[in-house]
Amino acid sequence: MVTYNNIIDAFKNISTAHEQVNSFGVGDVWDVAVSGTINYPLVWVVPKDSSLQGKVYNSNWTIIFMDLIHSDLREDDEVTSDMEQVAFDYIAQLQHPSYQFDFKPDNIPFTRFNERFDDLVAGVAID
C-alpha cells in the first residue's frame, strides 16, 4: 500500500525535477505565508480527507501552482497560463508507471486565482 509519505515524496520528486518549479511545500494553505523565503514558482500540496474502501486507499490532495506577478497585474494571464502548463505536466507525471499508485485523472477541476497570498501571485489549484 502507498503511504502518506510516499505520496508527498512523489509530489516533491516531480516538483524538483520540473524545470519551471523552484520551490515545494506541503501543509495547510495558511502555511504558505509562514513557510519562510519562497523562491517562486512554487508548488504547494494540501492534504485533504482520505478514505479506505475495502482494500483501496483513496488519498485526496489539492495541489497549488503559483508564481509572482507584477503589482500592476500585467502578467496575470501569462503567469496563470504557465502555471496551468505546469499542472498539466504534473498530471502527466502522476500517471507514469514508476509511481506505485493508481492515479485517476478522469475529472480534475482547475481553479484559477490571482492575488491570493501575502505575495502577489497567480496560478491554479487542482484537486
Distances (CA, A) of 86 to 4, 49, 53, 90, 115: 23, 24, 31, 6, 19
| Total-model pTM | 0.90
Q: What is the pLDDT of residues 94-111, one digit of tens each?
A: 888 887 777 777 788 999
Compute mean pLDDT per 10 residues along the chain, 127 residues long, and list them. 87 95 92 80 94 87 92 78 95 84 80 80 93
Q: What is the pLDDT of residues 60-79, one digit of tens each?
A: 999 999 999 876 666 788 89
Q: What span, in angstroms and rounded, lies between the C-alpha atoms of 84 and 78?
A: 10
